[in-house]
Amino acid sequence: MSGPENQSPKLTFRLAALLPVLALLFGSHAAALQPPAEILIPFDAEWRYHDGNEDLGTAWREPDFDDSAWSQGPALLGYDTSDRRDQWPEPGLQTELAENLVTYFFRKSFTYDGDIDHQRLRIAQIIDDAAVYYLNGVEIARSELVPEGEVGFETRATAATNPWAGHDTLVVEHAPLRTGRNVLAVSVHNHNPGSSDICLGVELSIEPATRVPVALYLSWQQDPTTTMTIQWHTEGDTGEAALHFAPRSGGSAATARADSHPMVYSDRLVHTVELTGLEPDTAYSFRITNIEPDLASPVYQFRTMPATTHRPIRIAVGGDVMHRTEWMSEVNRHAMRYDPDFIVWGGDLAYSDGREDRVQREYDFFRVMVETLIADDGRVVPVLMGIGNHEILGGYYFGMGRGREGYEDSDAFREEIAPYYYNLFAFPGHPGYGVLDFGDYLSLIFLDSDHSGPVEGKQTEWLQQVLEERSGQTNLVPIYHVPAYPSVRSIDGGVSRNIREHWLPLFEEHGVQFAFENHDHAYKRTIPIRAEEPADDGIVFIGDGAWGVGERVVHPAEDTWYLERSQSIRHLILLTLKDESRDLKVISREGKLIDHYIPPPGRPRR
């Protein structure tokens, strides 16, 4: 990141320097991040079974039930009256059962002498059609096709399947596992007694339990193609805060220890690791230690940014994020449908207003991020967060009677009026504005629109320098909160006028083609504007901040000289970069396309 000199200290780990030593400690591939599971029952284990078409009640589930008179044989157990036995998965049909029954009963004892705390069970199953699992007499899991409610001898599967349909896995937390002898009992249910097949195959394993962190969020502080900043929270001191990481494609695993500090107005701790020396456009796995004492996180992944736009780059953009958790969740999920490389929020995040009595809003904000911004494959989508008025006590640096003359250009002043923002987020850090450069195809310029510091003065001087230093960049894209051209509020508002006076001439001079604005809780796209007049070679201002907030009534576009489109609707903007092309699609809270803007070809490199 290029920015003001008084940036916060960063804890940095260089992967290349650590690998030779850490490879000896953690092995040679990413699999080392996941401790190996211990198999308690293999797929080809010998099982006791009852296929006598007899209702056994519930006693058969108990560990002390006498099953000595039952038949036994190795898995896979079942029958198949079709001509498709050669399609059964390994180890194949080993034990023939009686045909055309509704319910079959199975039992398998095993001994476990390890630690029963902080563990979970994993059931890998090959089942036709449905199964219910009991450990030591207690139901622990059901396969997908078991109906709800009490299950008995006459219970049928809700649909039919086949043994070759693929493996399925169930994870059991807090299982009633015992030290010594245990019994897994299973009832398998046909969809109908005339079915052509039935199957039981189970691999039961035990592995360390995991805990999902109460907050987990990624960003960048430096080059997004070779670095990643990972932040998470714990409920107090849970032990050494660190993470293990490795390339997903194979290679050495390494450990990075976190820089930790207390969360403001909270008993939580905030942990930060910045990884550097990574490879561009590369997926990495990581696992966090001690989310709770002796309990690590699941294995997650991240992806560094590419150095060029040889593939499409997708960025979900918006602002004004969380009036209600359900509104934020809704738009988050629409964003994730597009597999974005990252997300940009231009301020007004949790709406805690910097107040101690609103810390729960911060907790809810991070909870929703964990619930909705981690993909099914474990990829955590980075989020870059700018500052808005609802991060500030009083909304602006001059609010709550402080006056413009009360402004202090100091970290302490900013942390006093924006306590959560500067405490929780690594980027942009002090003084509330910064820039990230993505290869030679994109520079994102985050600005502070009179919130923790003034638009004019040092920030405008910094902005001029940043733009001058990036004269060869294809896309120069500013992001800030208060709009220069609002869709709801008056264009004569003081902050809007200030932005038009101090920032827009610099945007125009240095070839900015579009800028993201927020704050008004609506959607807008302006016509191209230069020198506060319509101009074919002007700047388009897009956004107005309505990710997860209540919508406001907009100025009608047909009656407002600078508006091309305006609409009262929650939305996200999907910016796609590919080679020299740029594409902006606007997706509504219902997941529908409501606007599509294609800027002219990228500005020539000078």
Min mean pLDDT across 155-159, 391-395, 600-604 is at 600-604
Work out the percent of the chain whose per-residue pLDDT is above 70: 93
Q: Which structural domain, as residue segments, surrounds residue 123?
A: 38-208
If one counts the domains in the chain, the total is 2
Site of tokens 């591939």: 29
HEC-encoded secondary structure of 436-455: EEECCCEEEEECCCCCCCCC
C-alpha to C-alpha distances, 209 to 77, 133, 215, 292, nearest whole angstrom: 30, 19, 18, 11
Cβ count near 164 (within 10 Å): 15
- Spatial strand order in the sheet of 581-588: 383-385, 342-345, 313-318, 571-578, 581-588, 593-597
Q: Is the pLDDT of residue 18 over 50?
A: no
Q: Return the structure tokens found at 111.
A: 């001994």
Q: Packing angle between helix 359-372 and helix 325-336, nearest 10 degrees?
A: 30
Site of tokens 């561009």: 280
Domain identity same for 283 and 169: no
Domain identity same for 172 and 319: no
Q: Does residue 33 fall inside a structural domain?
A: no
Q: Is the pLDDT of residue 14 over 80?
A: no
Domain identity same for 135 and 247: no
DSSP 174: S
pLDDT digits (tens, 9 = 90+) for 274-328: 999 999 999 999 999 999 998 899 999 999 999 999 999 999 999 999 999 999 9
pLDDT at residue number 165: 65
Domain identity same for 198 and 229: no
- Do residues 556 and 487 make contact, with C-beta atoms less than 8 angstroms apart? no
pTM of the model as a whole = 0.84
pLDDT at residue number 28: 36
Site of tokens 């260089």: 14
Residue 223, phi then psi, degrees to nearest 5: -55, 115
pLDDT at residue number 606: 38
- Among candidate residues 208, 226, 254, the one where a domain is terminated: 208
Q: Is the pLDDT of residue 244 over 90?
A: yes
Q: Does residue 31 fall inside a structural domain?
A: no
Mean pLDDT of the chain: 92
- Do residues 443 and 478 make contact, with C-beta atoms less than 8 angstroms apart? no
pLDDT at residue number 37: 87
pLDDT at residue number 33: 75
Q: Does residue 391 fall inside a structural domain?
A: yes
- Among candidate residues 180, 208, 236, the one where a domain is terminated: 208
Using CB atoms within 10 A of its CB, is residue 24 exposed (0-12), middle (13-18) or buried (19+)? exposed
Using CB atoms within 10 A of its CB, is residue 565 exposed (0-12), middle (13-18) or buried (19+)? middle
Asked if the peptide bond before residue 428 counts as cis, ω within 30 degrees of 0, the response is: yes
Q: Place 82 in a pLDDT band, splitting at 50, 70 and 90.
A: confident
DSSP 370: H
Domain identity same for 447 and 358: yes
Min mean pLDDT across 19-33, 76-90, 526-540 is at 19-33
In single-letter form, the type of residue at position 450 comes to: D
Asked if the peptide bond before residue 431 counts as cis, ω within 30 degrees of 0, the response is: yes
Min mean pLDDT across 220-229, 242-251, 300-309, 455-464 is at 242-251
